[in-house]
Amino acid sequence: MPRKGHVKKRQTLPDTRYGSAALAKFINSLMRKGKKSVAEKIMYRALDIAGEKLNTEPFEVFKKAMDNVRPLVEVRPRRVGGATYQVPVEVPAERAQVLCIRWMLNYSRAKKGMPMAERLAREFMDAYKGEGSSIKKKEDTHKMAEANRAFAHYRW
């Protein structure tokens, strides 16, 4: 918590090719060491590869992949009387987008032996089809929330 009041959220400018703020956030998360032009090239190349292989508009692949990976509920730890319960809570839209981006990038970076654009394109294609590592992560998160539904009354 900052001492001098609330920090305002900065508005992310939309990306240059598709005019999407979500895509701009993805590019910013993909970026390493301030090299935004490299991140943009990787991202646009990945979208082109995915769109080409799925015979779909590249931005449609991105939107559907993001919607498929975006979680609806998650568990948050809550201490009650010395015990810590995993309490299921709904995920706000902004956090859902951040989790979606983080999961997709982590799983695409974990694959080795090919260029990053190709790895990212494969992750987009898998998410578009409703399969793959990031979809499994979302399902695991939902299962965890479902298993701990009994503690939902501890929500704050």
Q: Is residue 38 domain-resident?
A: yes
Q: Is residue 147 domain-resident?
A: yes
Distances (CA, A) of 86 to 77, 80, 89, 98, 153: 5, 11, 9, 21, 11
pLDDT digit string (tens) for 6-50? 989 889 999 999 999 999 999 999 999 999 999 999 999 999 999
Q: Is residue 14 domain-resident?
A: no
Q: What average pLDDT does this structure show over 134-154?
A: 92
Domain with 69, as residue range(s), is 21-154
Specify the number of domains making up the chain: 1
Q: What CATH number does residue 77 fall under?
A: 1.10.455.10
